[in-house]
Amino acid sequence: MTAVRVACCQVRIAIGDVNGNADRVWRAVEAAASAGARIVVVPELANSGYVFTDAAEARSLAEPVDGPTVTGWVDLARRLDVVLVGGFCELDPDGQVRNSAVVVDAGGVRALYRKAHLWDREKLVFTPGDAPPPVLDTAYGRIAVMICYDLEFAEWTRLPAVRGAQLLCAPVNWPSLPRPDGERPSEIIRAQAAAATNRMYIAVADRVGDERRVEWVGGTVILDPDGWPVGGLALGREMTVLADLDLDAALDKRINEHNDVHADRRPELYAPIYRPQGIS
């Protein structure tokens, strides 16, 4: 496969500004496509914003998967001939509010994922998903999707890797937390570790802008199978990170002549660790 250009759009999202959020996302995706991107990732909860006052506010901003946000993204992907991955506040068919993401292309909605690992007050707002991250073949490579805090669970990022995902796309909203001077945000470090231990590309689209006294890392990054950023970092700035990726490189799990991150696994040793005697 020849290299494919991937874009992660770090945009300013505002709570409740559905029309403004849609416009900023659309303009960023259009600009990325004009720059040659064929896979484009936009942030978590890109339609609604993140810092809800309560569950009722989240519900008032939630949409079904066939609502205007995702329908608009399908139209955009079809017009621009891109694969678009983005997060939105979903009202599911059972009336549950979900922190969800979709993969869409010219053929429509290819995958729907609901965040499994809820962060902090998300547990007061959302119903967690219980399905593994989807892995699917697209015109530009085999990709997977998960959301934000999901990236911090080694068991979860391993799942798409062993199913052959070349690129893991992650819409995120990373809240800024204290860190020592000169240090990279720990969220980026953990994503680097996930990329390296799975020898898989990871594309993270974060957001910027203050929201109800919450500041964001603005840590959009694209990582190669060694865990290194490619295309630069976008710390705190409204911008798009672009990188040309040889996705087939993620199919080679060898570190050196003697080691392979998949072949070296010993699952028969891990099961007793996860299920100690006397614990169901």
Q: Which of the residues are catalytic?
A: 44, 115, 148
Query: What is the residue type of 58?
Result: A
Question: Hey, CA dihedral for 211, 217, 223, 226, is it positive or negative?
Answer: negative
Q: Which residues of 100-115 are buried (b: 16+ CB within 10 A; e: fewer)?
A: bbbbbbeeebbbbbbb
Pair of tokens at residue 215: 């500041």
- The H-or-E segment that residue 189 falls in is helix 186-198
Cα angle for residues 167, 170, 175 (degrees, 5° grid)? 150
- The H-or-E segment that residue 32 falls in is helix 18-34
d(CA 181, CA 192): 20
Pair of tokens at residue 128: 């967690």
Whether 209 and 221 have beta carbons less than 8 Å apart is answered as no
